[in-house]
Structure 1
Amino acid sequence: MSLALIALTDQDKNTLRTAAYGAVSLMAAADAAGKPHKTATQGTIALTSATGQVGHVLAEKTPLKNLKGTTTAALAEHVLPALTAAMQLLQRHSPAEAANFRATVTTAVQAAARAHRAEPGPALAAMARKITDALDAA
């Protein structure tokens, strides 16, 4: 069954967008000593290349709440569970779209980690692992 045939609620769509854009925000927060704006830009560009139903949801221009945590820890407390929830939601409805979402977020994290054209530092590498763990926790 294709996710395109499944009616997602506004809350479902918000969870998907929060998870994906939140992952990029976490990578930017982990790059606070470098150039977080470059990290965020590269990750966001990768998200805009998403296809399928995931691509349509991520392309929606609705404001996201709770992505302005005062600390990286506060942001992570909101985003990491959203990543797991997004994967669980998609796996229930369409394993193919769940795989698409995981691949999209992973690509965005990799793009963010390589924004400086160098090997990601320890903080970025650790954040990427946490994001991957949250995706795989579903």
Structure 2
Amino acid sequence: MTKMSLGSHPYLLGFEQLERLLERSAKSGNEGYPPFNIEQTSENSYRITLAVAGFAEAELAVTLEDRQLVIRGRQSEDGEGRIFLHRGIAARQFQRSFVLAEGVEVGEAVMENGLLHVDLTRAEPERVVQRISIKKG
């Protein structure tokens, strides 16, 4: 039996880009840090929340790169001159990526109590019915 990919299925025409998006999201290299939630806040809106305790707003970057929401964090090393007897809170960097569907727009990003909230909205697609005329050949 031959393995059939999404883009080569005979009834799914033009979905090659969707297959590439799935591959890209699988290879995005997201680790388990920082933990995050994704919630649906209404029929056409979502909120991504990342636990970024210890990060200042200036140490975080939220960008949209080719339909991919990328959230990066890089803490500055301020341990110079300090002597730690135990260091359980590490200053580490991270990158989280989320592939967005066509029509999903990024709203605002808000930092609140160590949580970064990024709001997303999905535009309702316009329903179009088009009649195609048949010509004699």
Q: TM-score, normalised by structure 2?
A: 0.28
Larger Rg: 2
Q: TM-score, normalised by structure 1?
A: 0.28
Q: Which has the higher contact order (CA 8 A, sep 6+)?
A: 1
